[in-house]
A and B are shown apart, each in its own frame.
Chain A
Amino acid sequence: MNPRRIGGIVLRQFYLMRGSPTRVLPMFAWVAIDIVLWGFITRWLNQVSHAGMDFVPTLLGAVLLWDFFTRVMQGVTTAFFEDLWSRNFLNIFATPLSISEYLSGLVLTSIVTSAIGLLLMLVLASTVFGLSFLSYGVLLLPFLLVLFLFGIALGVLASAIVLRFGPASEWLVWPMPALLSPFAGVFYPMSTLPAWMRAVGHLLPPSYVFEGMRTIVAGEPFAYVNLVVGLGLALTEIALACWCFARVYRYAVNSGLLARYSAESVT
């Protein structure tokens, strides 16, 4: 892999963000709105609930972690969409750039944009609503890592879907996190779900993070094996997503879809 080529992909995103408030604002706005909204909901739940449960680390913490995952995924897909929106596929893919260099550039861009969002959420949630990250202990870092890796996997898969099915399939990508959240047990224990939903949820690395987070907040012993399973699943799913993207790319080259992308299909 050539670092200058990867740097080129990242630099292009930097140029776009530097000159466009409409690209920068969403990095802050949506996460801030979510934290404020859920911050007040948890505050109100703490007032009216007589269960003696603190909703801040469970609900607000879950919102923060889920938003982080969503930002990572959208960081990858938005960087990919920039080439889609500017009809740049032919210019990009007729260069010596490899698929792994291209995807690495998208991932690096996502690391920067999601880190900015995460920082804002951490500051807002801890200063305004008193969310203490000490309550998760050092496990917060592997939790973030698993969510980051799964965000990358889903972002790459979503990009492959758009490459395969054309620009109109972009609308399938945006609701993906919302579609997965019921299965991942973001706001409730996995045991709440029916068996078939639980089975799906166990294939999603975030389910291990949110189960683990609730276990820690409840003061129960944390099963590290679940973290290893979540991490292993996330890494496997990244490999599968990259394989899927490379396969879709080969299909697009073979069928002529890449050269005539605006037609959306070659049949």
Chain B
Amino acid sequence: MLVVDHLCKRYRDTVAVDDLSFEVRPHEIVGLLGPNGAGKTTTINMILGVLQPSAGNIRIEGFDVARQRRRALACTNFAAVYAPLPGNLTVEQNLRFFGLIYDVRDLSARIEVLLEQFNLRGFRDTKCGLLSSGEQTRVTLAKAVLNAPKLLLLDEPTASLDPATAQDVRALIRRIASEGEGGILWTSHNMYEVQEVCHRVLFLHHGKILLQGDPKTLPEQHGVATLDELFIRLAREPLAQTTEVAR
């Protein structure tokens, strides 16, 4: 599905992503965790082809993002809190616009399915800028699955949702992973959510993977009670932890 191989991004003297390698397999939800500035969004931007890596390569469904960008991105989609859909178009107009851009077949039928699936029927003709942040997130997610992507990138998709809506969205995303053909790469700062949803997590710090594994068993393996505690420990003492992990 997704193969990231020795990926690097440098900005002059700053290394944002440092020799990152990982995979996302079909039906798998992989959590990309790390403190602010760890390189999560930089990694996602490189996978989306809007940021050129300094080294390494990214393959989606076997297509190299650098050389076969269109084919790679045709089977990819994303939702991010910092990329809302145009607020001056209605929900249906946005879905139709992006559906054409992604060249979705039977677009009208697909839009109807998504309006139903994301509980957006009542907002069909409402401009996205007038929706609450939770409703906007649902529209962004609907757009993210328009083309039934093989790789779905979700950058803090539940950041602005109330607990009940966030739970619904998590259930929806789990269903997409299990029923669809694709894999999901998910970033979140909500460790409870990560534990509930992700099959595997990668802890990033200063652009490197410090630790990876099953979020349900990782805390115990590293002598802490919760994933939250492990996150805080890794964020504050990454080098000590790396040494400990290596032992």
Contact = CB atoms under 8 A, between A and B. Distances in A.
Contacts of A258: 50-51
A94 B48 contact: yes
A93 interface: yes
A259 B86 CA distance: 17
Given A90-B83, A94-B78, A96-B71, A253 B49 contact: yes
B83 A266 contact: no
A253 B50 contact: yes
B73 A94 contact: yes
B88 interface: yes
Interface in A57-108: 82, 86-88, 90-98
Interface in B75-99: 78, 80, 82-90, 93, 96-99
Interface in A87-135: 87-88, 90-98
A221 to B, nearest CB: 50
Contact of B98 (A15, A19, A95, A250): A95
Interface string B1-31: 0000000000100000000000000000000
Contacts of B42: 256, 259
A253 B51 contact: yes
B50 A4 contact: no
A88 B101 CA distance: 13
B101 A8 contact: yes
B240 interface: no
Contacts of A88: 85-86
Interface in B37-82: 41-42, 45, 48-52, 69-71, 73-74, 78, 80, 82
**What is the interface residue range for chain A against chain B?**
20 to 34
A120 to B, nearest CB: 25
Contacts of A256: 11, 42, 45, 51
Contact of A16 (B78, B85, B88, B143): B88
A98 B180 CA distance: 27
A82 to B, nearest CB: 8
B50 A94 contact: yes
B225 to A, nearest CB: 37
Contacts of A266: 11
B50 A15 contact: no
A91 B74 contact: no
A68 to B, nearest CB: 28
A11 B99 CA distance: 11
Contacts of B83: 87, 90-91, 94
- Most chain B beta-carbon neighbours within 10 Å: one of A4, A20, A95, A254: A95
B86 A86 contact: yes
A186 B52 CA distance: 44
B73 A15 contact: no
B100 A5 contact: yes
Nearest to B87: A86
Nearest to B12: A267
Nearest to A10: B100
A247 interface: no
Contacts of B100: 4-5, 7-8, 11
A192 interface: no
Contact of A259 (B45, B69, B70, B98): B45
User: Lowest 7 A-B CB distances belong to which pairs?
Assistant: A8-B100, A86-B86, A94-B48, A96-B74, A259-B45, A96-B70, A254-B52
25 contacts: A4-B100, A8-B99, A9-B101, A11-B96, A11-B97, A12-B97, A15-B89, A15-B90, A15-B93, A87-B83, A87-B84, A90-B48, A90-B80, A91-B83, A94-B48, A94-B50, A95-B101, A95-B102, A96-B102, A96-B103, A97-B101, A256-B45, A256-B51, A259-B42, A259-B51
